[in-house]
Amino acid sequence: MPFYHAVGEMPRKRHTVFRRPDGGLYAEELMGHEGFVGTSALLYHIHPPTTVKSARRLRELVWEADDGTSLRHRHFRTAQVRRGGSPTLDRIPILFNSDIGMLYTEPDQNDAHFYRNSQADECIYVVEGQGTLESVFGDLPFRQGDYVVLHRNILHRWRLDLSAGQAKFVVFESRGHIRIPTRYMNNVGQILEGAPYCERDIRRPMELKPHDERGDFPLLVKQYNAINELILDHHPFDVVGWDGYVWPYTFNADDFEPRAGRFHLPPPTHQTFEGRNFVICTFAPRMLDWDPEAVPLPYHHSNIQSEEVMFYAAGDYAARKGVGIGCITLHPSGLPHGPQPGAVERSLGATRTDELAVMWDTFGPLRLAALMRDIDRPEYAYSWNPDR
Ligand SMILES: [Fe+2]
């Protein structure tokens, strides 16, 4: 919901007669958050979006937590997470709370079904892979380094380019809306001069190729913590035009303009998105603090009431012991963390970093998924202690 956008054909006035070439009426659909008072889009379908032939609850989606979680720093390697499957149905939960879940998937097949998450906004960070996200709003090409933002209820279908190598996605599912941070915007919603990105960096659907096909089309809808299957009697991507503030978009980490200072700047400098009780930040390759006396690494910090999760996407992480590309670390609230032994000395005089990382801070405690018990690397918790 960044700003107003319109694609395709629509009548001059809302809620007026709009006819198909065959003389029938297009079906108008308002997709509105919070009833009729939140952000919305108005779509024009060839066929009413309501002609469902059957509906059933297909499978439960329960994220089981490790109830024996002890308080310590965590380190996971996504290379040890189960691979393959569907980009929508085979997501492995890693950490979650009532505001947001972080999941990981390495899909190797394209979905036959159409998918809609009706209980959460999604933000998918494309670690590797490329393809097209098809949606009722039009197609969106995606590539490595993209954040693909899908507000709840947007019907879509992933089309992975399977010849371009293994796709790897970090998935955020958020109960509240995922937004451009309000502090980056003026009071009419324009992104401010000085923000780390602008409207031109937000890539959006630009055209529609409406499908006018009858048949049985399966829609899988995540709602009530379950996958529900609805069979629609026509192709759901039959929209000829739409406008409004709700649409899917991509933003690439390479388009984040990083900030640096004479001395170290804290993580809010890197903020990219916000949601209910969480932020998502991009640590992009950048110049480092330039004062001759500057320490270019973070100082030790205790993030009280904030859980800090880092996904290491690209670059050289030699400074952090045992951590490399594809790793996830969790530095929970209740414990200080900071540079590991020797890291500060090694960093002095450095002028730039090529690290690319996605950080996710939550303001409520996170629960560790039970599936992560087996791939947690317990030695990480003691990696600050040179005597162990
Ligand atoms: Fe930190």
Task: Write out the two tokens for 164.
Answer: 């371009």
- The Å distance, Cα 194 to ligand 1 centre, comes to 24
- Say how many CA atoms lie within 13 Å of 338 toward its Cβ: 13
As a whole number of angstroms, the distance between CA 314 and CA 304 comes to 28
- The Å distance, Cα 332 to ligand 1 centre, comes to 9
- The Å distance, Cα 301 to ligand 1 centre, comes to 6
- The Å distance, Cα 330 to ligand 1 centre, comes to 9
The predicted structure's pLDDT at residue 289? 94
As a whole number of angstroms, the distance between CA 332 and CA 83 comes to 27
Residues with CB under 5 A from ligand 1 (ion): 308
Sheet holding 168-174, edge to edge: 249-252, 146-150, 121-128, 168-174, 100-105, 92-96, 367-368
The predicted structure's pLDDT at residue 371? 85
- The Å distance, Cα 49 to ligand 1 centre, comes to 46
The predicted structure's pLDDT at residue 322? 80
- The Å distance, Cα 253 to ligand 1 centre, comes to 20
- The Å distance, Cα 310 to ligand 1 centre, comes to 9
Residues 206-237: pLDDT tens digits? 999 999 999 999 999 999 999 999 999 999 99
Q: Are 388 and 112 in contact (CB under 8 A)?
A: no
- The Å distance, Cα 364 to ligand 1 centre, comes to 16
- The Å distance, Cα 295 to ligand 1 centre, comes to 15
- Pairing state of beta strands 121-128 and 168-174? antiparallel
- The Å distance, Cα 76 to ligand 1 centre, comes to 16
- The Å distance, Cα 298 to ligand 1 centre, comes to 7
- The Å distance, Cα 75 to ligand 1 centre, comes to 14
As a whole number of angstroms, the distance between CA 220 and CA 210 comes to 20
User: With a threshold of 0.75, does the pTM exceed it?
Assistant: yes
The predicted structure's pLDDT at residue 318? 63
**E strands present in 175-285:** 214-223, 226-234, 239-244, 249-252, 271-275, 278-283
- The Å distance, Cα 135 to ligand 1 centre, comes to 37
- The Å distance, Cα 123 to ligand 1 centre, comes to 22
- The Å distance, Cα 306 to ligand 1 centre, comes to 10
As a whole number of angstroms, the distance between CA 357 and CA 125 comes to 11
- The Å distance, Cα 309 to ligand 1 centre, comes to 8
- The Å distance, Cα 357 to ligand 1 centre, comes to 12
- The Å distance, Cα 136 to ligand 1 centre, comes to 39
Please measure the distance between the N-terminal and C-terminal CA atoms of the chain and give it in whole angstroms.
50
Q: Tell me how many degrees the CA angle 278-282-285 measures, rounded to the nearest 5.
A: 160
Closest CA to 129 of 86, 78, 167, 163: 167
- The Å distance, Cα 328 to ligand 1 centre, comes to 13
The predicted structure's pLDDT at residue 75? 94
As a whole number of angstroms, the distance between CA 268 and CA 260 comes to 12
The predicted structure's pLDDT at residue 82? 85
- DSSP assigned state of 270: G
- The Å distance, Cα 358 to ligand 1 centre, comes to 12
Show the low-confidence residues of the chain (pLDDT under 50): none
Q: Are 109 and 85 in contact (CB under 8 A)?
A: yes
- The Å distance, Cα 387 to ligand 1 centre, comes to 23
Burial of residue 285 (number of CB atoms within 10 Å: 0-12, 13-18, 19+): middle
Helix (H) or strand (E) holding 344: helix 343-347
According to DSSP, the residues that pair with 361 across neighbouring strands are 279, 308
The predicted structure's pLDDT at residue 168? 97
- The Å distance, Cα 271 to ligand 1 centre, comes to 13
**E strands present in 108-152:** 114-117, 121-128, 131-135, 140-142, 146-150
- The Å distance, Cα 361 to ligand 1 centre, comes to 9
- The Å distance, Cα 304 to ligand 1 centre, comes to 11
Burial of residue 147 (number of CB atoms within 10 Å: 0-12, 13-18, 19+): buried
